[in-house]
Structure 1
């Protein structure tokens, strides 16, 4: 005898979301920008939508919603992630940093300051994702993680224009501020050496 969707709700596990008997929700606990946040989301909710719609952190932008533009890039446990391509339920207990968690007016993150100094943005829509990716790029290079343009896998990774371009290739700027973004990343890399 087939189980009706409403009967399944009496079994242990997820419960149907009101109004959507075949949809389930999950309670999550994530650390967002240093603060533990508990949310209840539909299991199909992306991390991007959880941040924007449930937590009202709208600095992370929805661009293509297909992982092709990088506007939604955030840092999850220190690694960059396209928030539109991952489900919120996959990040129970993770440490998520959005653009709001990097700095604030009067106390900007060095990468944010460098983007301002070098005009690393025009319309600014892609900038939050660009900055989060830029921070991760420098961490990847410091960790000696090779990219597709790394010529010598036995040598330490280096901050070069080619490396930055390759590693930032998943972040699209429709305004074309790429050379200024490279200048900003290069400056921050020089101060961290």
Structure 2
């Protein structure tokens, strides 16, 4: 019944303030044409967004590793899971912080994971893992034997994550925002 009353009520056109009235209004309530607004271009990068997305991913994989140590053919040992949760928490911390700190984190984490992935392929030897996922692997790297071991899937993911972090720190885009004071 109420919507019907609203529909039947006569519509009164909204009154626009005249020029005299708008001059007496405080400046924050005056509507000025957008032609007079000056914009500035700000260069940003993808570091914050990437840190947040990968941070959540690291935390989820780290927590899932405690329950499913064979998740997606990774070698998710107890130590590896703790490292993932800590890395994810740091990525979230810096991702929600300022852009420059997220960018620095992306450079450091990107370099670390890219080198870790490359070292895994270089130092890896054929073998069977003794922790988490006991299957034969062509590039098994026993970083700390029976505690922290990485396989081919781990190396590929480390390389991908490292490259993603580095690209996020390097790539830039521009945003037009109104200048302050207008």
Q: Which has the higher relative contact order, 1 or 2, with Cα contacts under 8 A spaced 6 or more apart?
A: 2
Measured against the shorter chain, the TM-score band is under 0.3
Q: Say which one has the larger Rg.
A: 2
TM-score (norm 2): 0.23
TM-score (norm 1): 0.22
Whichever structure has more helix as a proportion of its residues is: 2
